């Protein structure tokens, strides 16, 4: 295939695979697409290890990296909160509500106990990086730029001026996700090279405009800057639809979560394989911003109007991360409350993720179905 994206990155097919799993990134890159490592949960030390591993696996083939620095989050106007600041801002009723969920669903503590309690009581290190903040992302950016990712992406809001400046200094291209045309225009004006038009069907942080409407709006708004279609894309027909709407390629995330290489929690993977497209919900319960994820008892608890509303970012993840770790650790016990609670980010395309495949096979199946869809359209024109 030949599009602006394949030409820009020197890849065979314009399929970019967002994944937190380095094995998926390498597998898709070797299959002719381009893997993009989601690094938000990495420490700088682990990112160093994973990028070196990826580069050893893929050789000179291109890959990308994705970090998250929202344009606006709690404390950003003051230069960002420290953990000490956050301790003072977590309401007691929210701490009690999380504890109550864990008690009612009989979720045991972790063996090494209680980082959550340590954080909120003041014994955790107060100068540690806060999740979803520039203070967390900037060290990751420097590690990435010491390696050779071709693309640096900010997944939530416009990339910071520092991120764009440093990436361009090192000769890297910059991408950003957009859920509205005006967001995409703002990204381009800031110096972004590739726009990912992500519709509401997508997993993770997303807006509320569907891909069918959003992609052509953004294509028209930012031309000639190339656009990747995202949200609800996991098959070749969906890829063909995105390209027909003007995209130069696709950005896929959810579809890799049930692949052989994915590090998805086994119980969550089993839930994904059984889920329908109606089994997701946009909820602020994990990060403090609307993020599409599998609907489970966890999201139902937080979406109950009679319970405390989720806090903003980054307060909510600080509040719940330890609880989520406890839930995931205990979810292996069949029939347990933790099994009912456990979930993860995933898009509406989960309804077609009903068989485990290798990541490479996903790529090949997408291309085969894409070709069939294009040929079908060609036959309709000939009729």
**Would you place residue 155 in the very low, low, confident or very high pLDDT band (cuts 50, 70, 90)?**
confident
**Choice between 76 and 193, residue whose per-residue pLDDT is larger:** 193
Instruction: Report which secondary-structure segment, H or E, holds 168.
Output: helix 161-169
DSSP output for 98-112: HHHHHHHTTPPPPTT
Is residue 35 in some structural domain? yes
Question: How many other CB atoms sit within 10 Å of the CB of residue 380?
Answer: 8
**Would you place residue 132 in the very low, low, confident or very high pLDDT band (cuts 50, 70, 90)?**
low
Percent over 70 (pLDDT), the chain = 90
Is residue 361 in some structural domain? no
Is residue 108 in some structural domain? yes
**Would you place residue 133 in the very low, low, confident or very high pLDDT band (cuts 50, 70, 90)?**
low
Where residue 143 sits, what CATH number does that domain have?
Answer: 3.20.20.70
Q: Which two tokens stand for residue 255?
A: 């579809």
Quote the mean pLDDT of the chain.
Answer: 91
Looking at residues 120-135, what average pLDDT do you find? 50
Is the domain of 276 the same as that of 215?
Answer: no
Instruction: Supply the pLDDT for residue 120.
Output: 47
Instruction: Supply the pLDDT for residue 366.
Output: 98
The answer to whether 233 and 252 are in contact (CB under 8 A) is yes
DSSP output for 248-277: SEEEE-GGGGGSTT----HHHHHHHHH--T
191-234: per-residue pLDDT in tens? Answer: 999 999 999 999 999 999 999 999 999 999 999 999 999 999 99
Is the domain of 199 the same as that of 338?
Answer: no
238-248: per-residue pLDDT in tens? Answer: 999 999 999 99
Looking from the CA of 236 toward its CB, the CA atoms found within 13 Å total 17
The answer to whether 262 and 19 are in contact (CB under 8 A) is yes
Total tally of structural domains belonging to the chain = 2
Is the domain of 250 the same as that of 151?
Answer: yes
291-339: per-residue pLDDT in tens? Answer: 999 999 999 999 999 999 999 988 999 999 999 999 999 999 999 999 9
Q: Who contacts 348 (Cβ-Cβ below 8 Å, separation ≥6)?
A: 201, 232, 277, 280, 292
Is residue 297 in some structural domain? yes
Q: Which domain holds residue 192?
A: 4-73+130-259+374-382
Is the domain of 318 the same as that of 204?
Answer: no
**Would you place residue 362 in the very low, low, confident or very high pLDDT band (cuts 50, 70, 90)?**
very high
Is the domain of 247 the same as that of 172?
Answer: yes
**Would you place residue 4 in the very low, low, confident or very high pLDDT band (cuts 50, 70, 90)?**
very high
Is residue 247 in some structural domain? yes
Is residue 22 in some structural domain? yes
Instruction: Supply the pLDDT for residue 156.
Output: 78
Is the domain of 40 the same as that of 156?
Answer: yes
Is the domain of 81 the same as that of 142?
Answer: no
Q: Which two tokens stand for residue 30?
A: 């070797």
**Would you place residue 104 in the very low, low, confident or very high pLDDT band (cuts 50, 70, 90)?**
very high
Q: Residue with structure tokens 């990751």?
A: 140
33-71: per-residue pLDDT in tens? Answer: 999 999 988 999 999 999 999 999 999 999 999 987 665
Cα(163)–Cα(152) distance, rounded to whole angstroms?
9
Instruction: Supply the pLDDT for residue 118.
Output: 45
Is residue 246 in some structural domain? yes
Instruction: Supply the pLDDT for residue 135.
Output: 64
pLDDT higher than 60, residue 375: yes
The answer to whether 174 and 167 are in contact (CB under 8 A) is yes
Angle at 149 between CA 173 and CA 132, to 5 degrees: 85
Is the domain of 303 the same as that of 266?
Answer: yes
pLDDT higher than 90, residue 359: yes
Q: Who contacts 210 (Cβ-Cβ below 8 Å, separation ≥6)?
A: 199, 200, 201, 231, 232
259-298: per-residue pLDDT in tens? Answer: 999 999 999 999 999 999 999 999 999 999 999 999 999 9
Instruction: Supply the pLDDT for residue 129.
Output: 54
Is the domain of 195 the same as that of 56?
Answer: yes
**Choice between 318 and 120, residue whose per-residue pLDDT is larger:** 318
End-to-end CA distance of the chain: 25
Q: What is the DSSP letter of 278?
A: T
Is residue 356 in some structural domain? no
Is the domain of 167 the same as that of 222?
Answer: yes
pLDDT higher than 70, residue 87: yes
**Choice between 103 and 86, residue whose per-residue pLDDT is larger:** 103
Is the domain of 312 the same as that of 194?
Answer: no
Is the domain of 108 the same as that of 135?
Answer: no
Cα(257)–Cα(344) distance, rounded to whole angstroms?
10
């Amino acid at each position: 295939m030949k599009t602006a994206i394949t030409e820009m990155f020197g890849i065979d097919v314009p399929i970019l695979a967002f994944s937190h799993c380095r094995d998926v990134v390498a597998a898709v890159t070797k299959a002719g697409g381009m893997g993009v490592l989601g690094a938000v949960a990495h420490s700088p030390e682990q990112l160093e290890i994973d990028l070196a591993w990826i580069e050893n696996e893929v050789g000179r083939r291109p890959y990308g990296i994705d970090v998250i620095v929202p344009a606006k989050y709690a404390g950003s106007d003051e230069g960002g909160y420290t953990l000490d600041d956050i301790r003072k801002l977590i309401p007691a009723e929210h701490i009690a509500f999380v504890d109550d969920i864990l008690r009612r669903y009989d979720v045991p503590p972790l063996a090494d106990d209680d980082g959550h309690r340590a954080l909120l009581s003041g014994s955790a290190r107060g100068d540690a990086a806060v999740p979803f903040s520039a203070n967390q992302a900037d060290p990751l950016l420097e590690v990435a730029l010491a390696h050779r990712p071709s693309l640096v992406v900010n997944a939530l809001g416009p990339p910071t001026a520092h991120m764009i400046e440093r990436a361009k200094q090192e000769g890297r291209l910059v991408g950003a996700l957009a859920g509205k045309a005006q967001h995409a225009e703002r990204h381009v004006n800031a110096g972004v090279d590739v726009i990912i038009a992500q519709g509401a069907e997508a997993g993770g942080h997303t807006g509320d405009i569907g891909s069918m409407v959003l992609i052509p709006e953004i294509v028209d708004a930012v031309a000639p800057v190339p656009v990747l279609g995202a949200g609800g894309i996991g098959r070749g027909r969906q890829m063909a639809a995105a390209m027909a709407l003007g995209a130069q390629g696709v950005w896929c995330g959810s579809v890799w979560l049930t692949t052989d290489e994915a590090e998805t929690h086994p119980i969550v993977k089993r839930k994904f394989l059984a889920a329908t497209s109606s089994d997701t919900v946009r909820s602020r319960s994990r990060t403090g911003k609307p993020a599409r994820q599998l609907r489970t008892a966890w999201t139902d608890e937080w979406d109950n109007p009679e319970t405390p509303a989720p806090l903003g970012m980054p307060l909510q993840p600080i509040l719940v991360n330890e609880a989520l770790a406890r839930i995931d650790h205990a979810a292996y016990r069949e029939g347990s409350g933790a099994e009912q609670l456990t979930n993860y980010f995933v898009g509406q395309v989960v309804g077609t993720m009903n068989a485990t495949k290798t990541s490479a096979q996903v790529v090949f199946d997408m291309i085969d179905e894409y070709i069939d869809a294009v040929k079908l359209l060609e036959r309709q024109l000939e009729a």
